[in-house]
Amino acid sequence: MNFYGGIEAGGTKFNCTIAADPAHILAETRIPTTTPQETLERVVAWFREASVPLRAIGIGSFGPVDPNPASPTYGYITTTPKPGWQNTDLAGTIQRALGVPTAFDTDVNAAALGEWRWGAGQGLDVVLYLTIGTGIGGGAVVHGRLLHGLIHPEMGHIRLPRDVERDPFPGVCPYHGDCFEGLCSGPALRARWGQDPATLPPDHPAWALQAHYIALALVNYICVLSPQRIILGGGVMSNSFLFPLIRREVQALLNGYIVHPDILEHIDRYIVPPALGARAGVLGAVALAQQRLASPSDHVMPRSASATAPM
Ligand code: ZN
């Protein structure tokens, strides 16, 4: 059996695993995110101590990141607001220390790939995964590959119509104010309602408004990408009562225009929670490692990146 390393690099912790697939997890750990040097030293030490030969390591990282293998800063966390982590060579540091090929992408793209490979998106051609929590991000798997373009999708920053009578809250995104993330992330909920969103009861008006905005966003993604399934993860979506509200509102907003039984009749299996639960990201990183080792020209760093990196 071939084993792979998976790293879900988050702003508060690094989840690390050694696995072949979800049924064969040899080891896993959580390492707190402190300084880049201390955190990455602990990650490297954990993999070394495990002494399991790894074919490759996949990394899904908080960002913004540079996921373009042709770029000199491929594998870097770039302009993050997290203190100390700007311009951190995450993938290169791990690869040099452990000497195995490294695949790198955003945390949400890794989770999207994990859910497509082993979770709620199995067997489908076009799958959308969104995380709604501290931030909002989305990843799309299209015919078995993660969608990339200029960089990676930034689905959390789309603009949504806001009725200022119903919702005068201007949003918290430092770039856009009332973009999707600015209106619907955990910090946006806290700022709009003046309390921890975990303390808002299910009948609080916060949730109808939240479901409305999420449905508006989903309708846009449905019209653009035509996904065959939409998977909603992240801390805010652990409030499972949101799912029926969102499904109903998506149907109402589409108003019968997209004629497909998955929307008209079976929307409860069209908009779903992640099947891998909290392991979607770290197992997705394993899937990244596997996939990109299978196609080395696509996002796997060669062992001597400096010798082949285009300048
Ligand atoms: Zn924004």
**Residue ranges per domain, the chain?**
4-109+279-299, 123-273
Residue 309 pLDDT more than 70? no
Query: Which is nearest to 160 in space by CA: 174, 185, 140, 178?
Result: 178
Average confidence score pLDDT of the chain: 93
* Inter-helix orientation angle 280-294/107-118, to 10°: 80
Model confidence band, residue 284 (pLDDT cutoffs 50, 70, 90): very high
Ligand 1 center to 291 CA (angstroms)? 31
β-sheet bridge partners, residue 88: 77
Ligand 1 center to 80 CA (angstroms)? 14
Is residue 279 a contact partner of residue 287, using CB atoms and an 8 Å limit? no
pLDDT, tens digit, 9 for 90 and up, residues 174-189: 999 999 999 999 999 9
Ligand 1 center to 135 CA (angstroms)? 10
Model confidence band, residue 296 (pLDDT cutoffs 50, 70, 90): low
Please give the pLDDT value at position 188.
Answer: 98
> Rounded distance, CA 131 to CA 153, Å?
13
Asked if 4-109+279-299 and 123-273 have one fold, the answer is yes
Ligand 1 center to 293 CA (angstroms)? 34
Q: Would you identify the CATH topology of the domain 123-273?
A: Nucleotidyltransferase; domain 5 (3.30.420)
Helix, strand, or coil here: 207?
Answer: helix
CATH architecture of 4-109+279-299: 2-Layer Sandwich (3.30)
Ligand 1 center to 157 CA (angstroms)? 4
Ligand 1 center to 85 CA (angstroms)? 20
Ligand 1 center to 264 CA (angstroms)? 31
Query: Which is nearest to 267 in space by CA: 249, 284, 283, 280?
Result: 249
Helix, strand, or coil here: 91?
Answer: helix
Ligand 1 center to 35 CA (angstroms)? 26
Please give the pLDDT value at position 267.
Answer: 98
Work out the average pLDDT over 126-134. Answer: 96
